[in-house]
Amino acid sequence: DNYFGYFTFWVAMAIEFSGLLHAAYVVAMLVSWAAGKKIESKEPPKEGFDLAFFWARCALSCFILAMCFAVTLTALFNDQTTMWADVPPEAAIVVFFILLCVVGMLEGMQIAFFAVAKIPEAERGESLFAKKTCKLLFTGEGTNLPGFMIGRQLCVVSCMFFVARVTSVDLAEGEDNIFGVSDSMQELFNTGLLGAHIVTIVGSISWQLVASAFPLAFLANPLTYYLLRLCLFLESTGICTGAWVLAAIHKKICGFQRDEVHIGTAEERAKRNLADDTVHVGVGHMIKLPGFVENAPPALVELLKKNQNVSQYINAVIDDVESAAKSEHGTPVVAEP
């Protein structure tokens, strides 16, 4: 809730609009297709120019990602990276992709954890590991979630030490440029941006998109539980305990409070959605039928609150029913209080 956050949002939107990272959307769609589950979105389906522009950026992003992989793997097999000389290229590639998956899991876990934090406990699935993960994550005063964030960062940084070795191109003096490109292009290769592009898409954004679409599936993965344990262990070592101190100072200065103070827990919010405290009963209101308050779906109650036309329509229908009953029986229909 500040202008810096607003500025950051628009910078992020500009980067997304460029299409450089649209390959992550393709990965998320492939995962959704393989899982047989459609990704739900509140955005309307793309049509016409918007659809063509979207897929054009996806194609461009996939091409750039493929080139980044081609340059990085070629440099690795030609011993033109900063990888240690004693590590064979084949082993380096295997470890590289394993670490990408670990980093991706950690990136997706934080998205999934924040998503399920807003879901009532009864709706978090029946999976054994999902229950164990939630019990560990939300136990006590809720310090395990921020503790995971600290341990997660330590784990990610540790993985990046090896990943950076694999993806950093380093040509010896006098060696030919990779793929015979110009010196200026080779200088771009040497900056490490290609490796950063690979990690950003394959080891971060793709996993976050999948986790945001299927948070409960992430919780049901046994690897999620064991990585959570690992991150909490790393946090318990105290290496980054200073983060708690800085966070406490920031909280004190800005007067931050937990979300539960403002909006309540997931269970409390669900209970409020079903309550009828703010819904009036009597002539002129929509609650004229016996048991309507107790049995009305939450979505209908919300719609009645937001759209007066719907309320008026239901009232008119109920009035017609009451009038017909009076004409037939000669007595009014009495609603439950």
User: For 104-146, what is each residue's pLDDT tens digit?
Assistant: 999 999 998 888 877 777 777 778 888 889 888 888 777 888 8
Place of tokens 């900056």: 191
Q: Which of 231, 255, 273 is nearest to 110 (CA)?
A: 231
In order of 24, 77, 78, 92, the CA distances from 85 in angstroms are 33, 11, 11, 11
Instruction: Give the tens place of pLDDT for each residue, 262-279.
Output: 666 666 666 665 443 443
**CB under 8 Å to 286, separation ≥6 — which residues?**
292, 304, 311, 314, 315, 318
Q: How confident is the model at residue 166 (pLDDT cuts 50, 70, 90)?
A: confident
Across 191-195, 196-200, 231-235, 288-292, least confident range: 288-292
Mean pLDDT, all residues of the chain? 81
**CB under 8 Å to 331, separation ≥6 — which residues?**
325
Query: Exposed (0-12), middle (13-18) or buried (19+): which is 89, by Cβ within 10 Å?
Result: middle
Checking if the pLDDT of 34 tops 90, the result is no
Q: How confident is the model at residue 183 (pLDDT cuts 50, 70, 90)?
A: confident
- Cα 216 from chain centroid (whole Å): 12
Burial 265-303 (b: 16+ CB within 10 A, else e): bbeeebeeeeeeeeeeeeeeebbbbeebbeebeeeebee
Q: How confident is the model at residue 223 (pLDDT cuts 50, 70, 90)?
A: very high
281 phi and psi angles, rounded to 5 deg: -120, 140
